[in-house]
Amino acid sequence: AQKVTQAQTEISVVEKEDVTLDCVYETRDTTYYLFWYKQPPSGELVFLIRRNSFDEQNEISGRYSWNFQKSTSSFNFTITASQVVDSAVYFCALDRLSNFGNEKLTFGTGTRLTIIP
């Protein structure tokens, strides 16, 4: 069975601070994919990043960076110099390898991030 744990239910930081959102996953598969999605107040989830289990390189995209560590089954997300627009609920998700586009994404419970101006 697959499982994703986001232990931080809510985080509040002051604007311009850095913040890290934790994600720990469980799977018996050797090949899998990890995702992060952002859900702003408008409601629709927005894709941020996809990472497969063979690629442990960290990734940076502007103020966003992701740290994938297979040894600890973690895929953490850091926002540098946070802005009010970063306020949202963030979901980490896990998917089995599939050539049908997706298997069944398993989501964590989400972390609500509030950036205080």
Enumerate binding residues for other proteins (CB under 8 A). Answer: 4, 6, 9, 33, 35, 37, 42-47, 50, 52, 91, 95, 97-105, 107-110
How many CB atoms are located within 10 Å of the residue 83 CB? 12
CB of 81 to other proteins, least distance (A): 26
Question: Between 27 and 108, whose beta carbon lies closer to other proteins?
Answer: 108
Tokens of 20: 């890290």
Question: Between 81 and 97, whose beta carbon lies closer to other proteins?
Answer: 97
Question: Between 16 and 109, whose beta carbon lies closer to other proteins?
Answer: 109
SS3 of residue 17 by DSSP: coil
Closest by alpha carbon to 49, among 15, 85, 17, 90? 90
Please count the residues of the chain: 117
CB of 117 to other proteins, least distance (A): 25
SS3 of residue 102 by DSSP: coil
CB of 50 to other proteins, least distance (A): 6
